[in-house]
């Protein structure tokens, strides 16, 4: 072979090698860029939690009237200049939408597994997007029931077949939960998230603060892990079981160009000592979450966890480039005694501008991109209305309607 032919052959091989190299490169480092999620944060997010309790009190077994109620809820949210809802689509191993994996939820039907009057999630999305309101699908990954009573669990529930296994546990005084350390449990949760992302144009996926339900639920799993040569402490092992799920959901959400956020407890130490969630890791490394929404349900005068100090602590912990801060605020405390605030327990009774001031204070920290109020009924419903709540609401509305921060 002459020199020119040799060089041509080498060139072809190099081009082919480069093509194969780039074709089969892992995509993890590209995912954030591919998703182009930076535009997500161009506008301040002003969120409202809509929990299964709101759904149950307003939408249970409702069809045409149910749609009218949803339209009214979203109109109220839009008129108050909120632009984001965190809609609880799965609260107890169930769904408010037709699901291959989970039965219909008792928040919208009388009996778990009954036919849905309509697709609640789809209707929420359509009507919210008409009003430029984002819909983040709020999922409680591990909770099956908040009591020990299993009588309402249908045969359609995926937990039903696991009752005699280590995958499901009845926890005295707490409820019934999936075992976070079980691989099949994690696979079920991820499949459920994939189903939402595949079938619905949600703007994001959201987890709340219910993670490890009990420190003994994974004892057998940990023993097996140690017998196989595992070296992590039991606490570190628990943290990693949750991290595995969080990483999987983040990757999945980004595959569909959606964001993923979590609302942990506002008390950072409790997340490690009780819930076994590694919030510091999630905020210091990309690849876990897009936003952290800590439940900073404390007043300015809270003796143990004053709002400003707690807000600053959360903000300081965010060192990952693409993680943002959106504190969840406790509108439900308005006008109430806050027992655990100790010397500050009367603050929510004495003052009616706390939430307004908390929004203003939050806007001043570097990683801030929005806030969310817990929850819809406390702000928009009339069952909790008092002179104090009406005044607090008026102050919040004056801020949001006259100061449309972008």
> pLDDT tens digit string along 67-93?
999 999 999 999 999 999 999 999 999
- Strands 45-50 and 370-373: what pairing? parallel
> Mean pLDDT throughout 236-247?
98
Structure tokens at 194: 């994939």
Q: Is the pLDDT of residue 40 over 90?
A: no
Question: At 378, which CATH number?
Answer: 3.20.20.80
Q: Is the predicted pLDDT of residue 34 greater than 70, yes or no?
A: no
- Residue 234 included in any domain: yes
Residue 299 lies in a domain: yes
Q: Are 333 and 296 in contact (CB under 8 A)?
A: no
Cβ-defined contacts of 14-18 (< 8 Å, 24+): none
Judge contact between 70 and 59, C-beta under 8 A.
yes
Query: Is residue 15 assigned to a domain?
Result: no
19 part of a folded domain: no
Residue 5 maps to a domain: no
Question: For residue 283, what are the domain limits?
Answer: 45-402
Residue 10 pLDDT: 42
Q: Is 40 inside a domain boundary?
A: no
Distance CA 279, CA 6 (A): 57
Q: Answer whether residue 138 is part of any domain.
A: yes
Whether a cis peptide bond, with omega within 30° of 0, leads into 327 is no
**Domains contained in the chain, number:** 1
298 in a structural domain: yes
Grade residue 14 by pLDDT with cuts at 50, 70 and 90: very low
pLDDT for 38 equals 63
Q: What is the mean predicted confidence (pLDDT) over 301-326?
A: 98
Residue 19 pLDDT > 50:
no
pLDDT tens digits, 124-177: 999 999 999 999 999 999 999 999 999 999 999 999 999 999 999 999 999 999
Q: Does position 23 have pLDDT exceeding 80, yes or no?
A: no
pLDDT at 4: 46
Quick: pLDDT tens for 172-193: 999 999 999 999 999 999 999 9
pLDDT tens for 326-345 read 999 999 999 999 999 999 99
Q: What pLDDT is attached to residue 61?
A: 86
């Amino acid at each position: 072979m002459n020199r020119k032919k040799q060089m041509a052959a080498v060139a072809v091989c190099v081009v082919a090698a480069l093509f194969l190299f780039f074709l089969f490169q892992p995509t993890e480092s590209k995912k954030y860029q591919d998703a182009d999620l930076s535009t997500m944060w161009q506008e301040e997010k002003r969120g409202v939690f809509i929990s299964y309790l709101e759904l149950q009190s307003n939408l249970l077994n409702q069809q045409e009237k149910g749609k009218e109620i949803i339209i009214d809820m979203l109109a109220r949210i839009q008129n108050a200049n909120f632009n984001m809802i965190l809609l609880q689509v799965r609260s107890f191993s169930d769904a408010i939408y037709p699901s291959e994996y989970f039965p219909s939820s008792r928040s919208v039907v009388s009996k778990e597994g009954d036919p849905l009057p309509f697709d609640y999630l789809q209707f929420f999305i359509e009507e919210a997007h008409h009003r430029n309101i984002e819909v983040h699908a709020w999922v409680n990954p591990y909770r099956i029931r908040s009591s020990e009573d299993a009588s309402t669990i249908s045969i359609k529930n995926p937990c039903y077949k696991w009752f005699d296994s280590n995958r499901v546990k009845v926890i005295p005084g707490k409820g019934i939960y999936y075992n976070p350390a079980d691989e099949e449990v994690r696979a079920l949760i991820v499949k459920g998230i994939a189903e939402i992302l595949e079938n619905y144009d949600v703007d994001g996926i959201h987890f709340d603060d219910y993670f490890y339900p009990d420190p003994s639920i994974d004892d057998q799993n940990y023993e097996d892990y140690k017998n196989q040569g595992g070296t992590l402490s039991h606490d570190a092992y628990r943290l990693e079981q949750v991290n595995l799920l969080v990483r999987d959901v983040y990757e999945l959400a980004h595959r569909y160009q959606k964001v993923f956020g979590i609302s942990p407890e506002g008390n950072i130490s409790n997340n490690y000592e009780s819930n076994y969630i590694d919030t510091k890791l999630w905020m210091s490394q990309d690849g876990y979450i897009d936003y952290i929404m800590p439940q900073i349900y404390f007043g300015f005068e809270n003796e143990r966890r004053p709002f400003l100090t707690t807000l600053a602590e959360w903000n300081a912990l965010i060192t990952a480039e693409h993680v943002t801060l959106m504190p969840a605020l406790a509108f439900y405390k308005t006008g109430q005694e806050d027992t655990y605030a100790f010397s500050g327990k009367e603050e929510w009774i004495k003052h009616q501008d706390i939430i307004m001031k908390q929004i203003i204070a939050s806007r001043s920290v570097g990683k801030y991109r929005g806030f969310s109020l817990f929850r819809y009924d406390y702000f928009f419903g009339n069952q909790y209305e008092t002179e104090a709540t009406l005044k607090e609401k008026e102050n919040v509305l004056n801020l949001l309607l006259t100061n449309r921060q972008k």
